[in-house]
């Protein structure tokens, strides 16, 4: 069964307070995005890679590939005005059936084990969504009031989120709405049950300066 990954990298450097988009910031001597792509190729050498980038960022990315002699084959697709539209553009670049993982470009520490498990579960059950338990206590806020809730009933969602292609393509035919916080929520809107798989606390999404400190610590460890 053919395997694909859509890597969505549409971020800016605003929250990172960086002059360049966060996916292009270097850790360990190369851009975060290159680490992310390499993680998937390490898991499956035959994987077909689709990289979704804002059109304006594509020339810069190609320049980085030349600078770092980055030769891993990948297809580049123009991003949309939202994550939903960007993922949809990536899905439209896939012709035929199989499995597709959808992954944040700024999650470079996803493990081979998680990637392989996500494809395995998606092949069997239709989808696999990576998650981890909450570490901290949480409270529900309603107006001026708040109350404690049982954190064991909640999970933090990560990527990859992996799907049978025909299922997720059908789900993305729906009109975009504000309840779509990730790809799993789009599939759930169609009435499909979401299957959670175990993630990893090191599989961080690098979006702030604090995350960058943590990313370098993970690399150095």
DSSP 176: P
In this prediction, residue 14 carries a pLDDT of: 52
- pLDDT below 70 — which residues of the chain? 11-18
CA dihedral 172, 173, 174, 175 (to 10 degrees): 100
In this prediction, residue 221 carries a pLDDT of: 85
In this prediction, residue 61 carries a pLDDT of: 97
> Tell me: the pLDDT tens digits for 57-91?
999 999 999 999 999 999 999 999 999 999 999 99
How long, in residues, is the chain? 221
Cα dist from 190 to 21, 87, 120, 170, 180, whole Å:
33, 17, 22, 9, 12
In this prediction, residue 156 carries a pLDDT of: 97
> Tell me: the pLDDT tens digits for 155-185?
999 999 999 999 999 999 999 999 999 999 9
């Amino acid at each position: 069964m053919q395997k694909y990954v859509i890597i969505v990298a549409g971020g800016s450097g605003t929250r990172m307070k960086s002059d360049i988009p966060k996916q292009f910031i270097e850790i360990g001597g190369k851009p975060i995005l290159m680490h992310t792509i390499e993680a998937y190729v390490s898991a499956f050498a035959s994987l077909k890679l689709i990289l979704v980038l804002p059109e304006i960022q594509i020339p810069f990315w190609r320049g980085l590939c030349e600078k770092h002699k980055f030769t891993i084959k990948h297809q580049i697709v123009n991003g949309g005005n939202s994550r939903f539209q960007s993922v949809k553009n990536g899905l439209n670049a896939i012709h035929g059936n199989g499995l597709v993982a959808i992954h944040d470009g700024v999650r470079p520490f996803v493990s081979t084990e998680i990637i392989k498990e996500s494809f395995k579960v998606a092949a069997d059950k239709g989808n696999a969504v990576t998650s981890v338990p909450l570490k901290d206590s949480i409270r529900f806020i309603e107006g001026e009031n708040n109350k404690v809730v049982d954190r064991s009933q909640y999970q933090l969602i990560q990527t990859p989120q992996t799907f049978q292609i025909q299922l997720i393509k059908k789900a993305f035919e729906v009109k975009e709405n504000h309840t779509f916080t990730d790809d799993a929520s789009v599939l759930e809107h169609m009435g499909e049950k979401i299957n959670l798989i175990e993630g990893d606390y090191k599989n961080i999404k690098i979006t702030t300066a604090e995350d960058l400190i943590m990313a370098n610590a993970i690399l150095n460890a």
